[in-house]
């Protein structure tokens, strides 16, 4: 058996994978998918669902951790669900990936200019301004949002919500 793993493969093991599933837009489908992940012990980092251009079809974008064999099982098991139409693994496909976050951060007057600068550098937007807080909207890769959070943390993050990653293959290729 070819059990020896190449360094590249080993690196991939700790990798996170983006999988999208096109599913029938019906009640209970999310429960089926979530239940599948839970009972097979797969680790969901994030999961987003919304309707597609076809109102009969929803699209789930799931970020999971695990090695390539786990990923293969996830893909196959997802496909076994009757209401799952297509599954696509973005690991080796050129794709754009984005996440959106709202970050409510303490914004004392002395810090405001600095915070606004950070927001600008990361091409974010301030979408609410209170007496002592900003809500910042930022879009980008997971890494970028992590980075923004790191930087804002020193001012005091009060609350945060992230949409989870969404992905789409580059070029003409579709899911």
Contact residues: other proteins, CB under 8 A: 1, 23-24, 28, 31-32, 35-36, 39, 69, 72-73, 76-77, 79-86
Contacts of 107 (CB under 8 A, 6+ apart): 115, 129, 130, 132, 133, 134, 155
Nearest C-alpha neighbor of 19 from the set 49, 40, 56: 49
Pick 71 or 101: Cβ nearer other proteins: 71
Work out how close the CB of 150 gets to other proteins at its nearest, in angstroms, rounded to a whole number: 39
Contacts of 92 (CB under 8 A, 6+ apart): none
Pick 30 or 118: Cβ nearer other proteins: 30
d(CA 61, CA 166): 6
Pick 69 or 170: Cβ nearer other proteins: 69
Work out how close the CB of 40 gets to other proteins at its nearest, in angstroms, rounded to a whole number: 9
Work out how close the CB of 32 gets to other proteins at its nearest, in angstroms, rounded to a whole number: 6
């Amino acid at each position: 058996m070819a059990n020896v793993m190449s360094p590249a493969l080993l690196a991939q093991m700790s990798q996170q994978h983006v999988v999208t599933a096109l599913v029938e837009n019906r009640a209970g489908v999310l429960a089926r998918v979530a239940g599948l992940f839970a009972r097979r012990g797969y680790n969901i980092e994030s999961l987003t669902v919304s309707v597609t251009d076809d109102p009969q079809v929803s699209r789930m974008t799931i970020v999971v951790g695990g090695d390539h064999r786990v990923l293969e099982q996830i893909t196959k098991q997802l496909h076994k669900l009757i209401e799952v139409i297509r599954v696509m693994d973005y690991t080796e496909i050129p794709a754009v990936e984005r996440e959106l976050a709202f970050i409510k951060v303490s914004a004392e007057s002395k810090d405001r200019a600095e915070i606004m600068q950070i927001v600008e550098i990361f091409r974010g937007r301030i979408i609410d301004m209170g007496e002592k807080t900003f809500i910042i909207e930022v879009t980008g890769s997971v890494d970028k949002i992590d980075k923004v959070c790191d930087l804002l943390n020193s001012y005091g993050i009060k609350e945060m919500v992230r949409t989870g990653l969404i992905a789409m293959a580059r070029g003409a290729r579709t899911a």
